[in-house]
Structure 1
Amino acid sequence: MASVGYSGSSIRFRRLQPAFNLASHRFLSSDNRFLKVSEEVREALRSKSRPVVALETTIYTHGFPYPDNVALASRLESLVRVGGGVPATIGVLDGVARVGMDAEEIIRLTASAGKKDTLKVSRRDLSYICGLGAAGKRYNGGTTVAGTMVLAHLAGIKVFATGGLGGVHRGAENSMDISADLTELGRTPVTVISSGCKSFLDIPRTLEYLETEGVGVATFADGREGSVDFPAFWSRDSGSRSPTTIQDEQEAAAIIHAHHALSFSSGLLLANPIPADASVARSDIDGIIEDAIREATSAGASGKDNTPFILAKIKELTGGKSVVANRALIEGNVKRGTLVAKELLNLEKMEQASDTFAVPAWPSTLKSMVAPTLPEATSNAADVAASEGLGKPIATPKADIVVAGALAIDFSCDYAPLPGAIDQIAPQLHTSNPSIITQTLGGVAHNIAKAAHYMGASVRLCSAVGDDLSGRAAVAQLSSEGLQTGGIKVLDASTGQRTAQYVAINDAHKDLTLAMADMSIIEQPDTWNSDRLAHLQAASPKWVIVDANWDSTNLHAWLTAAKSLGALTAFEPVSTAKSIRLFHGYSPTSAPTSSKYRPTSTILTFPNQIVDLMTPNNHELHALHTSARSLGLFDSPSWWSTIDSLGLPSSGSRTALSYLTSPALVNEGIPQMSIQLLPLVPCILTKLGPRGVLLTQLLPAGDERLYGPDDAPYVLGRDRTGSETVGGLYMRLFEPEEVMGPGKVVSVNGVGDTFLGALVAGLVHGAGEREGRRRVENCVGLAQRAARLSLGSKEAVSPELVRLGRSARGI
């Protein structure tokens, strides 16, 4: 398939490789009951924001016992994240194949290790276990190298790090016992990074078989000159020379990149020798292996039972030394795999940049065709910006709320099937679909700002647009909406930055099927370096709301600047993939405090956190919790001190949590994760869709809610340690006043943004005031009503919020 790219006066053809095959594209575009790819993995692959590394799970279900396997799983995922990547742990849970598992799912799978209904899943077993799952027999399964490769490829993942590869068993000329890992490498284009194959296999015949399958095999030389041995799992040398060698991750990435560019359908095997300090000498291990093989033969262990039997026997005969070596080598492989995936991503980005082509200036006759629903902007962006004070000394009106984040042109494509269409709900792939397409001004920060503005707050939006048609229209539209535009930075055309755009493809019920977002304009580290503090000082806001479309550096800079001026801060996570930007480089005790900061409200009184309030959905809460744990934020003395101050019973709070929320939410771990995140963000409102909103917050020492009868049902714990700051824990589930069915829902776009904008506007105007105190719990119902209005509106933020805001303010 070729595409035509316009470049000056020439026409250039470039061959495009599909990112996924038909099966995976079908999944990513709609639900698939047999395969689930986590949103974090999908987002990383789609946006190319972080490298993704696949991890197998037979090592947890059939290798390490519980709970050692839980610790190993957490360790390996942490190694990927510390290296800047996204771990995609792959396995089967309840009969559904998973690519990317959250903490709760990993714990469930590892806890099933050793059980009869926990299967070892290769390619041949995937249809069986998933099919039976659909029929009601829901097995769990750890995927082998072959099974992991299949699922990784379906999701579009190119790099897979594991311990050791299967291979040709000794005596295979009679038994025909050859691992499916080898044939999978011959037909699936995934790169496997392992410490060679297991030492008890026939390594020379394994290498011959891989050559027959057309699999490229190379070993990391790590500075060694000349040819080197193919490793033998526990030993760095096997006595068999590696077909080729590579020196480092850059060379490995270049090979993988060329492999995919040439459209080969086979995989690559990159052998990473076990670290020298963990290696077992061949002379020591060979005799033990011979004994283990003899016992396996005597016991009749063959096929998929052969390898687990031999590994268990080697562990016994080495007194557990093989397990220590096993852990060291897989950790080394995961670290190296992450570095390789990162280098590969850099190469792909470089090629993508070289393939972009300049778009000629839009003829004036096309302007109305491009932006038919936005006001026509006849002046250029610099003129519009100048008219709003941009580029001049900052002297703009004060604002109750500053919102910093994404401003984008939104395209909403609602599937409108023709009579007799095969699918009356979901759009079809690989073809044009009839739809109703609307274009509006959007972006998370814009929607939050618009909601707060409609509710009656004075709002200043800080974002960036390109000097392009979309940017001009955006500035003009903001002005017509009555929002302050002095905080919109127009980037010069020479920067090559484009105004952000978001395309949502919805099914016939208006539920999101697929979305594409280009927010790169505000992901540049230096977009706002010099002007941030000046804009905040000019506005002198009570609240600063920041969305996660910023990169981590800009995100923390906005929040830190806001706290230095004494403002309260709110964080909107945006998505599971972007939400974790909050905790990269996060240090809750290092945020500056200000002499101006007088916590006169009982909403939040913990100034050392850079975020006072956040509004994740349940998926984003999972991602934030996993990120905080993997980064070690739950290990600090200050975290433990806060948790101890909550006064929770040592016997556990499951019954109390179930009473305050619901057994279903407790089973999902939502209230538990909220509590564990409180030392980092002291007020969390988790959006649960039709189930409502869960408020979890720290109460300051001496707060009247700790003693008042009206609040007593929601106080889960009270301090018994004598803390001077933390008084206890408040938790409350706010169920919706009305659950809107599909026929009443017009659009889901912007609903979460509306909730946060209305909530903070309510706090600013005292809608949550009680006894002179503005409380977040008294504003949740108002924010829910605002969100419901947006659900029933074709606009991302319903204009009906104006009336709601007036009513809340008693106007």
Structure 2
Amino acid sequence: MLLNRAIGRPRLPRGLCEPRAVLGKRFLTNNGFFRVSEEVREAINSNKPVVALETTIYTHGFPYPENLALASLLESTVRVNGGVPATIGILDGIAHVGLEPEQLIRLASSGGQPTTLKLSRRDLSYVGGMRLAGKNFNGGTTIAGTMILAHLAGIKVFGTGGLGGVHRGAESSMDISADLTELGRTPVAVVSSGCKSFLDIPRTLEYLETEGVFVGTFADGREGNVDFPAFWSRDSGVKSPTTIQNEIEAAAIIHAQHTLKIESGLHFANPIPADAAIPKETMDAVIAEALRQADASGVIGKDNTPFVLNKIKELTKGSSIPANRKLIESNVRRATIVARELAILENEQDEAQGRVSPSFTPAFPTSNLSSAQRLNNTPLGDTSPPSISTKVDTADVVVAGALAVDFSCDYAPFTDTSSPVDPAFHTSNPAIINQTLGGVAHNIAKAAQFLGASVQLHSAVGDDLSGRAALGQLGEDGMPTEGVKVIPHPARTAQYVAVNNSNKDLTLAMADMKILESIPAPTMDDMLRKVSSAQPKLLILDANWDSATLHKLIAIGQNSASTTTIFEPVSTAKSLRVLPSKPEYGPIVDIITPNEFELKALHDHAYATGLFDDPNWFATIDAIGIPSSGLRVALSVTTTPSIVDSGIPQQAIKLLPFFPTILTKVGPQGVLLTQLIEPEDPILSSPEHAQYVLARNTTGDGKVGGLYVKLFAPEVVLKDEEVVSVNGIGDTFVGALAAGLVKGKNVRDVVGFAQKASLLSLKSKESVSPELRKLRAD
């Protein structure tokens, strides 16, 4: 004991003192040197597609904060394409597989510090051991370091930038990257853009062959045996040992490798995207000069590569850097699609062998499709070669609009406060604050999905922490993310802050939804094309789009005879975006779902801009057949005198030429349906509905049969203390309405069901109550 105390002998953490049987497991469990994040651990256990990502590009490649932006982009790329990112790095001597956002920020910001190292296989035990001796090191893992840690965690696919190789002159210097030997002994599939062309590519391929490493290059639509890529250039002048047509083939090879228990890696070379590539002839001249300067400066060993890369950056006047980013993103995307296909193969094998199928559900409904069909489900934003289609699956319901992070702030006054209901302005108030994933379009889509409809959500998030969190939550909810675009900085993920009084009624809300108004034109065009190709039964749009984009989306619905378009106004100010700038003939959208304030805003704006002066508007109103005595008495019977006094049904009737079905949400009083009846609608002769048919066509107009007005009072009105949150109840109503309509129901038959669904969200802390799933049978 005295000797131990004198020399400061390190003691092993309790987590390392495990039975021998536990340490002998195929994959390493968490201990004092090794940590796998909860998300990655759950994904591996559920056989979800997981992609390993290295960190030397952050600690020794890009400066802060550019490295953090790149890290965010790559993780988002994995999530958008249906996978779970596992960024691997070392913090305080502990290897982390799946860095949390705070950890990633810490590692990225530590680049360039003397305690932040570049770590390969040989260095892992060193940094771990030094921690026990009181010396803490951080580190970015190289390809070799990332491979071994990924394998210890059970990850099979790894996306990175460029592979290390045999250096020129290695016959005398023996300078061979540890990446190659790691590929020879660790069964992880690495997707990269080949070797940097200042390496000896023929000898690199020869060395990999000696190590027993499979090497294949993606054809990218090219015919015959293609070249092994040279990082910045698509061709190297050296033919690839094997050509791979697509991600399906790559996944099949990986699956066979693991089934055969062959303990060596695989390398899939992915050529840099053509629009980012630097011609081989240009790079050959640049590299020759960079190598000449390295030789003249006497730079050798581990310092050689950084020196040459820096010279290449200088000689290309910085053009090598954006090319580098592009190829890394392309590789990570392709690695994710490979991982996704591998997960499908493994699940199919489990089912064939009678094992319980894991909980993984592919991001796209591909498990019953052929290889070619699955490749047609490549996610939005993919830069796949022209030979691979990017068609998105059809869906019953397509929702386009806001995806946001919601903050609900419920005023929770102290017992002795002078204001027991409303928060005070210009000061701090006690509150209960909840954070959820929301946004009008997201909530609508989620409600419809909970109720059994097949749904596509089209929206955008920023390349930031909130965006990553949003995509991750969508994945956990089982909602496809291929329609969600990731927009680079300075775009910000949408956020919504609701301040409610102690009765849970909205007092004030702040919304930052500008991201939908700042989507680059090419990205927006691609989204419009995807929405159009989905051919939905229902197209639901919220008013968070700018007016021009909103009307482009509306046109998609108008141009499809089989699509019903629903518009959710969102707010009084944004609701006006749906109205045209000048009188136009015909309905704008089929159904709108305003509250009474949004309805009034639409009515007043239409009046102020002269939309009610158009002859076509008069023709439709005349065709309804409103009696000369007016409708006040009839409206008071079918609604309530107070609603009629407020002018709500009168305003709705005047807007019917633009919106043939209007569902006005009037709070605790219910939902007011105001609707143009088509001439052939059997409701015109139905005794059950006779009291709600307030007018009938008398002009012979073939487009209008009459007017239907009915107030749907709620079955239950909750007490104040029963209300948990009002956020999302209107969105839940629209989502439930959609779920009923796609089943072939009429609006009149679905309103009561949608109110019932809204009641569940009113009693839930979630914007959309998970209890909605129980209503599927209804």
Give TM-score scaled by structure 1 length: 0.49
Q: In structure 2, do the counterparts of structure 1 residues 695 and 367 end up closer, same or farther at CA, with 3 Å as the change threshold?
A: farther
User: Could you tell me which residue of structure 2 aligns to residue 519 of structure 1?
Assistant: 513
Matching residue within 438, 449, 461 for 1:465? 461
Q: Corresponding residue for 1:803?
A: 774
Over 3 Å counting, the alpha-carbon distance change for 1:381 and 1:574 in structure 2 is: farther
Note the 1:23-172 alignment, pairs <5 A: none
Return the alpha-carbon distance in structure 2 between the equivalents of residues 733 and 472 of structure 1: 42
Secondary structure of 2:391's aligned partner? coil
1:541-579 superposed Cα distances (whole Å, 9 cap, x missing partner): 101000001111111111101222331100000011111
Aligned counterpart for 2:530 among listed residues 526, 535, 553: 535
> Aligned residue for 1:556?
551
Aligned to 2:569: 573
2:636 match: 658
2:764 partner letter: S
Classify the secondary structure of the residue corresponding to 2:687: coil
* 2:724 counterpart letter in structure 1: V
User: Residue 419 of structure 1: CA displacement?
Assistant: 4.1
- Residue deviations 1:206-250 (CA, integer Å, cap 9, x gap): xxxxxxxxxxxxxxxxxxxxxxxxxxxxxxxxxxxxxxxxxxxxx
Q: Tell me, yes or no, if structure 1 residue 440 matches structure 2 residue 418.
A: no
- Per-residue CA deviation, residues 717-753 of structure 1 (Å, 9 max, x unaligned), is 1111111111111111111101111111000000000
Change (3 A) 1:478 1:635: same
* Aligned ranges 1:279-290 → 2 under 5 Å: none
Write the mapping of 1:597-636 to structure 2, written as runs, cut at 5 A: 608-636=586-614
Please state how far the C-alpha of 1:422 moved relative to its aligned partner: 3.8
Residue 488 (structure 1) aligns with:
484
C-alpha distance in 1, partners of 2:551/2:567? 11
Structure 1 residue matching 2:511: 3-state secondary structure? strand
Distance 1:612 1:758, change over 3 A: same
Question: Whole-Å Cα distance in 2 between the matches of residues 725 and 417 of structure 1?
Answer: 56
Name the SS for the 1:530 alignment partner.
helix
Label 1:381 to 1:580 Cα distance change in 2 as closer, same or farther (>3 A): farther
Return closer, same or farther for 1:463/1:509 CA change in 2, 3 Å cut-off.
Answer: same
Q: Distance in 2 between matches of 1:793 and 1:800?
A: 9
> Letter of the aligned partner of 1:682 in structure 2?
P
Look up the match of 1:682. 660
How far off is 1:643 after superposition? 0.5
Residue 683 of structure 2 aligns to a residue in which SS?
helix
What CA distance in whole angstroms lies between the structure 2 residues aligned with 1:727 and 1:643? 11
Provide the C-alpha distance between the structure 1 equivalents of 2:455 and 2:427, rounded to a whole number of angstroms: 43
Is the 2:401–2:544 contact (alpha carbons within 8 Å) kept by the matching residues of 1? Answer: yes
1:532 offset after TM fit, Å? 3.3
Query: What is the rounded CA distance, in whole Å, between the counterparts of 1:419 and 1:695 in structure 2?
Result: 42
SS class of match (2:613): coil
Please point out which of 365, 377, 391 is paired with 2:381.
391
Deviations 1:521-554 (A, max 9, x none): 0123755531133212432210100000111111
Change (3 A) 1:535 1:360: closer
Partner of 1:5: none
Contact 1:536 1:562 in 2 (8 A): no
Corresponding position of 1:426: 422
Q: Which residue of 2 aligns with 1:139?
A: none
Distance between the aligned counterparts of 1:587 and 1:521, measured in 2?
30
Counterpart position of 1:544? 539
SS in 2 for 1:622: helix
CA RMSD of aligned residues (A): 2.7
Q: Determine helix, strand or coil for the equivalent of 2:774.
A: helix
Output the CA distance in 2 between the equivalents of 1:433 and 1:359.
39
Matched AA of 1:796: S
Q: Does the aligned pair in 2 maintain the 1:403–1:544 contact within 8 Å?
A: yes
1:656-709 CA deviation, whole Å, 9 max, x = no partner? 111111111111111111110001100000001110111011111132111221
Mark the CA change 1:366 to 1:427 in structure 2 (over 3 Å): closer, same or farther.
farther
State how far apart, in whole Å, the 1-side matches of 2:581 and 2:329 are.
Answer: 35
Equivalences for residues 195-210 of structure 1 within 5 A: none
SS of the residue 2:626 aligns to: coil
The superposition leaves residues 269-317 of structure 1 with CA deviations (integer Å, 9 ceiling, x where unpaired) of xxxxxxxxxxxxxxxxxxxxxxxxxxxxxxxxxxxxxxxxxxxxxxxxx
Which of 482, 507, 516 is the aligned partner of 2:501? 507
| 1:695 is the counterpart of 2:673 | yes
Query: Is contact 2:582–2:609 with CA below 8 Å preserved after alignment?
Result: no
Q: Deviations over 1:354-405 (max 9, x none)?
A: xxx99986997664999xxxxxxx9999968975612234233321000000
For structure 2, the 5+ residue unaligned runs are 1-64, 73-90, 92-98, 106-157, 160-327, 338-362, 364-378, 383-388
Q: Which has the larger radius of gyration?
A: 2
Quote the residue 2:113 is aligned against: none
1:754 aligns with 2:732: yes
CA deviations over 1:17-63 (Å, ceiling 9, x no partner): xxxxxxxxxxxxxxxxxxxxxxxxxxxxxxxxxxxxxxxxxxxxxxx
In structure 2, relative to structure 1, the CA distance for the partners of 1:688 and 1:452 (3 Å cut) is same
CA distance in 2, matches of 1:642, 1:456: 37
Aligned to 1:788: 759
Q: 1:587 to 1:491 in 2, by over 3 A?
A: farther
SS of 1:498 mapped into structure 2: coil
Task: Identify if the C-alpha distance between structure 1 residues 359 and 408 changes in structure 2 by more than 3 Å, giving closer, same or farther.
Answer: farther
SS at match of 2:625: coil
TM-score (norm 2): 0.51
Q: Is the 8 A contact 1:678 1:684 kept in 2?
A: yes
Query: Does the 8 A contact of 1:790 with 1:798 survive in 2?
Result: yes
Does residue 478 in structure 1 map to residue 449 in structure 2? Answer: no
Are the structure 2 counterparts of residues 512 and 569 from structure 1 closer, same or farther at C-alpha, using a change threshold of 3 Å?
A: same
**Cα distance change, pair 530–471 in 1 and its aligned pair in 2 (3 A):** same
The answer to whether the 8 Å contact 2:583/2:614 transfers is no
2:578 is aligned with 1:582 = yes
Give the counterpart letter for 2:435 in structure 1: Q
Q: Which shifted more, 387-396 or 673-682? A: 387-396
1:710 shift after superposition: 1.4
Measure how far apart 1:651 and its partner are. 2.4
Counterpart CA distance in 2 for 1:698 and 1:543 is 19
* Partner Cα distance (1:670, 1:579) in 2: 16
- CA positional deviation for 1:792: 0.5
Check 1:693–1:724 CA distance in 2 against 1; reply closer, same or farther (3 A cut): same
C-alpha distance in 2 between matches for 1:586 and 1:485:
37
2:711 & 2:525 partners in 1: Cα distance?
42
2:713 corresponding residue in structure 1: 735
What's the offset of the Cα at 1:584? 3.7
Per-residue CA deviations over 1:329-374 (Å, capped at 9, x if unaligned) read xxxxxxxxxxxxxxxxxxxxxxxxxxxx99986997664999xxxx
Give a deviation string over 1:170-193, Cα, whole Å, max 9, x none. xxxxxxxxxxxxxxxxxxxxxxxx
Between the aligned partners of 1:400 and 1:504, the Cα distance in structure 2 is 31
SS of residue paired to 1:449: helix
Indicate whether 1:406 and 2:396 are aligned: no
Q: Quick check: 1:381–1:468 contact (8 Å CA) kept in 2?
A: no
Matched AA of 1:474: A
Once the two structures are superposed, what CA deviation does each residue of 1:756-801 show, in whole Å capped at 9, x if it has no partner? 11001101123x3xxxxxx110000000000111000010001111
Question: C-alpha deviations, 1:314-333, integer Å up to 9, x for none?
Answer: xxxxxxxxxxxxxxxxxxxx
Residues in 1 aligned to 2:583 and 2:333: alpha-carbon distance in whole angstroms:
40
Q: Unmatched 5+ residue regions in structure 1? A: 1-356, 371-377, 590-607, 769-774
Report sequence identity in percent.
Answer: 53
Report the CA distance between 1:418 and its aligned residue.
3.4
